[in-house]
């Protein structure tokens, strides 16, 4: 655990806030006594600094400051903010002094003032956005910092014009720079990942789970926040002279707006035509994106991703060729896999019994015994899950996300479309209208199944309240539908969701498709979030970070509880007289796996090293004997490929797209955002030359036809 400062330190910024508030009241009363109107800006600027000081006081009181931030640091910080707030009270006499000068001189000074403030704020903002989060901001090459400063200056000029040549709108530049920098620091700490453009569309989801974390300010963040106050103070003095006539004021407003909009359009044109990575000469690292942010800075990396947001068109794609390819592969399936005796038996059985299909996507459930060092330390993985006999299929599930991004694994499974062919940093749930996209829920609904999705969290997270109906779910049970249930670690215990499923089954004997997204194992994993008696201590060789070890032990305790609840659920399903198929998988590894991976496997090539952290696990089990199906089949699959394989094994009808997928799976058994495994057993990066490059391009072509074409 990080040692934090004494909460009593909150008194320091509170004293400064009180003094500044008293000074503001004195100035306001003096203005009134002297017969001057109390302008809004006269008190709004200093009161903003009062609020800023109170905000830091609350942070101190919550114990969210590192212990290395001492009383002297707080005194200096509070004094700087109080002085900045007090300085804004001098705006009126400063503007009066300018107005007293000859007009050419006054206007010249205003121009110089505005240019100097804009340049200084832009440069400072370009520095603080990376100082806030990076462990070595000085290692970022100067050209990247210059690009960031120029971009901030451009935003500043647009805000200056649209804001009627005042500094008010320009304040967004340093505030946004600090905000993104601080947010990036916490995202790196909690997920080991960088902020992506699509993350901005998932702010509601982030806010919903933020209560599980302590946001402890570091010294560099603390002083970044100090600098922001200085920038805001300087910008408060950017204020133009005003025309005396109404007509002059109207013309002035119109000219400023036109200039601002023209600059905005010009900037948009440059954005569309100039690729940042080409201009600055860098390549985005899709295996370790956080390294690109560290090496190139936040802004160039973020903008580069933003410019690559459209779904790429596969090589040689046309609607006609895609349809011909799908028809050809579907015919190959019908003549081969589709004509196999086992498949025919399963089809006949499925048509007769229509088994209920339950999918449990268990939050952050993985088998970390894949890490040799942890295995050597005595961890054998989730024992019940691994020892379960009689599964239809099981093995490694290749995920396209790590440490977070649950919705993308969910999207891949439900739609059969891989993030590999959509692009890095995109969340389809947030970006696209999925009502025209084929999905497992809609497919089973067409067969007469009742379809229910459940997740014991807010319905708005990742836009699920809108997405689930688009995907064909009849009903969505969110946290409000669970009521008071037993909690474990980060939310409702897995068992609570299983009991809800059993309740649904008891109330309706007709075939059902139930998709259960659990919450229990969500990050973070600070010690103390699970009962102490549930925690076992593991010490993998090479892992010396005590904080990481503590989080690892907490995480493994969560998985142990999940394993017990899963065995409880399977025992209950065995007791049912109705046929049930259970598909169980974890969405991704926890962010702490990155530190474990680094410690256990140092000095590996980046692709081999990184893709290990994208391995999850899955199994398919039935409480009845599936006709024609061999048991305990071991196979690695991608999340987007799993549903088609499940439907094939249980004899369910398949779409032509799924038939084509199953044929291509024989060449490329698993594909994810980072790469794929070929039939030769080797893993390849998506862009690498391999014997399976044509098969991968065919996968991309089919997906573009069945997904991208419908949503772009």
Could you read off the pLDDT of 395-414 as tens digits, one per residue? 999 999 999 899 999 999 99
Cβ atoms of 169 and 160 closer than 8 Å: yes
Distance CA 436, CA 707 (A): 9
Q: What is the DSSP letter of 676?
A: E
Ranked by mean pLDDT, the top range of 63-67, 328-332, 466-470 is 328-332
**Residue 204 backbone phi and psi in degrees, to 5:** -65, -40
Share of the chain above pLDDT 70, in %: 97
Q: What is the mean pLDDT of residues 424-449?
A: 92
Mean of pLDDT over the chain = 93
Residue of 229, 707, 210 lying closest to 438 (CA atoms): 707
* pLDDT tens by residue, 602-651: 999 999 999 999 999 999 999 999 999 999 999 999 999 999 999 999 99
Whole-model pTM: value is 0.77
Q: Where are the alpha helices (DSSP H) in 576-655?
A: 592-600, 606-612, 639-650
Regarding predicted confidence, which is higher, 284 or 594? 594
Orientation of helix 319-335 relative to helix 656-665, angle to 10°: 70
Q: What is the mean pLDDT of residues 506-512?
A: 97
Distance CA 546, CA 532 (A): 17
Distance CA 121, CA 370 (A): 49
Q: What is the mean pLDDT of residues 221-247?
A: 91
Q: Give yes or no for residue 198 having a pLDDT over 70.
A: no
Q: What is the DSSP letter of 4?
A: B
Q: What is the mean pLDDT of residues 462-470?
A: 91
* pLDDT tens by residue, 80-134: 999 999 999 999 899 989 989 999 999 999 999 999 999 999 999 999 999 999 9
Q: Give yes or no for residue 1 having a pLDDT over 60.
A: no
pLDDT at 196: 77
Q: Give yes or no for residue 8 having a pLDDT over 80.
A: yes
Q: Who contacts 581 (Cβ-Cβ below 8 Å, separation ≥6)?
A: 355, 356, 357, 358, 392, 620, 621, 622, 626, 646, 650
Cβ atoms of 581 and 622 closer than 8 Å: yes
């Amino acid at each position: 655990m990080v040692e934090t400062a004494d909460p009593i330190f909150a008194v320091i910024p509170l004293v400064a806030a009180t003094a500044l508030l008293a000074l503001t009241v004195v100035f306001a009363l003096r203005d009134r006594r002297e017969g001057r109107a109390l302008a809004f800006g006269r008190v709004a600027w200093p009161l903003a600094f009062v609020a800023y000081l109170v905000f830091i006081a609350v942070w101190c009181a919550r114990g969210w400051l590192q212990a290395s931030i001492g009383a002297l640091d707080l005194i200096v910080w509070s004094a700087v903010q109080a002085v900045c707030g007090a300085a804004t009270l001098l705006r009126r006499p400063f503007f009066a002094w300018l107005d007293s000068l000859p007009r050419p001189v006054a206007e010249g000074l205003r121009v110089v003032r505005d240019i100097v403030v804009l340049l200084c704020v832009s440069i400072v903002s370009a520095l603080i956005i990376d100082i806030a989060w990076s462990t070595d901001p000085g290692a970022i090459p100067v050209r990247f910092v210059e690009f960031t400063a120029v971009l901030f200056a451009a935003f500043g000029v647009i805000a200056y014009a649209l804001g009627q040549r005042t500094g008010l709108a320009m304040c967004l530049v340093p505030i946004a720079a600090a905000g993104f920098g601080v947010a990036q620091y916490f995202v790196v700490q909690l997920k080991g990942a960088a902020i992506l453009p699509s993350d901005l569309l998932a702010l509601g989801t982030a806010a919903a789970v933020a209560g599980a974390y302590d946001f402890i300010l570091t010294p560099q963040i603390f002083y970044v926040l100090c600098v922001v106050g200085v920038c805001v103070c300087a910008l408060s003095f950017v204020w133009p002279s005003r025309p005396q006539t109404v007509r002059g004021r109207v013309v002035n407003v119109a000219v400023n707006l036109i200039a601002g909009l023209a600059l905005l359009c010009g900037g948009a044109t440059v954005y569309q035509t100039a690729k940042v990575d080409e201009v600055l000469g860098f390549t985005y690292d899709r295996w370790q994106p956080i390294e690109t942010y560290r090496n190139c800075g936040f802004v160039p990396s973020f903008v580069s991703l933003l410019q690559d947001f459209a779904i790429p068109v596969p090589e040689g794609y046309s609607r006609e060729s895609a349809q011909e390819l799908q028809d050809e592969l579907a015919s190959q399936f019908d003549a081969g896999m589709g004509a196999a005796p086992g498949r025919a038996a399963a089809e006949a059985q499925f048509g007769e019994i229509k088994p209920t299909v339950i999918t449990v996507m268990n939050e952050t459930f993985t088998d970390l015994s894949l890490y040799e060092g942890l295995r050597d330390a005595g961890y054998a993985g989730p024992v019940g899950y691994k020892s379960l006999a009689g599964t239809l299929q099981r093995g490694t599930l290749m995920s396209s996300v790590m440490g977070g991004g649950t919705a993308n694994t969910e999207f891949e499974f439900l739609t059969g479309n891989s993030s590999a062919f959509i692009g890095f940093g995109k969340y389809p749930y947030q970006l696209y209208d999925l009502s025209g996209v084929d999905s497992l829920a809609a497919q089973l609904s067409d067969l007469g199944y009742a379809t229910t999705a459940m997740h014991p969290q807010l319905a708005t997270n990742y836009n699920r309240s809108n997405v689930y109906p688009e995907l064909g779910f009849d009903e969505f049970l969110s946290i409000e539908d669970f009521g008071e249930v037993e909690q474990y670690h980060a939310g409702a215990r897995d068992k609570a969701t299983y009991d809800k499923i059993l309740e649904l089954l008891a109330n309706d004997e007709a075939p059902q498709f139930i998709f259960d997204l659990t919450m229990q194992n969500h990050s973070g994993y600070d010690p103390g979030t699970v009962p102490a008696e549930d925690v076992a201590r593991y010490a993998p060789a090479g892992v010396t970070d005590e904080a990481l070890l503590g989080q690892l032990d907490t995480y493994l305790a969560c998985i142990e509880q999940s394993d017990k609840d899963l065995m409880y659920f399977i025992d209950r399903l065995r007791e049912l007289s109705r046929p049930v198929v259970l598909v169980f998988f974890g969405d991704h590894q926890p962010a702490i796996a990155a530190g474990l991976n680094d410690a256990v496997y140092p000095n590996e090539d980046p692709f081999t090293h990184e893709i290990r952290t994208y391995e999850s696990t899955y199994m398919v089990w039935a409480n009845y004997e599936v006709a024609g199906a061999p048991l305990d089949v071991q196979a690695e699959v991608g999340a987007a490929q799993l549903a088609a394989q499940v439907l094939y094994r249980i004899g369910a009808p398949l779409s032509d797209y799924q038939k084509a997928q199953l044929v291509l799976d024989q060449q490329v058994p698993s594909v994810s955002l980072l790469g794929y495994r070929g039939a030769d057993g080797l893993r390849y990066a998506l862009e690498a030359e391999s014997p399976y490059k044509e098969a991968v391009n065919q996968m991309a072509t089919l997906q573009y036809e069945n997904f991208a074409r419908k949503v772009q």
